[in-house]
Amino acid sequence: MTIKEVSEKFHISSDTLRYYERIGMLPPVNRTDSGIRDYTNEDLNWLELILCMRNAGLQIEAIIEYVKLYSMGDATFEARLALLKEQREKLLCQQAQIIKALDRLSYKISRYEVAVKTGSLSWDNEKC
């Protein structure tokens, strides 16, 4: 696939794809004899992983480190496992914070739904 096709498929710019490759977040993409990027299924799988991790909030540095370790071969299994576990823990902490915020927002919404019906807020603490 060309960079344009990949850009359209994943809804990201060609510049972003080039950037990911330049900083080592995406392993080097094969090129045609004329120098045009030629994305393979493996490249697309990498890109799906990268986008999934970025959308989940993983830091670029962690993804770059993972790609670097992967490129070093099977001797890095333990290091990759440790990195992935560390990232999972960070995401679980973020998830807990998000759940707490959602619970608080749901509470506030329910109180305002009552206020809309009754014309007044019926609690003392209107801070957060």
CATH code assigned at 9: 1.10.1660.10
pLDDT of residue 81: 96
Say how many domains are in the chain: 2
pLDDT of residue 72: 95
**What is the overall mean pLDDT for the chain?**
92
Domain, as residue range, for 103 = 73-128
pLDDT of residue 5: 97
Same domain as 77, residue 27: no
Three-state SS at 114: helix
pLDDT of residue 82: 96
pLDDT of residue 120: 87
What is the Cα–Cα distance from 48 to 20, expressed in whole angstroms?
A: 12
In tens, the pLDDT along 58-80 reads 899 999 999 999 999 999 999 99
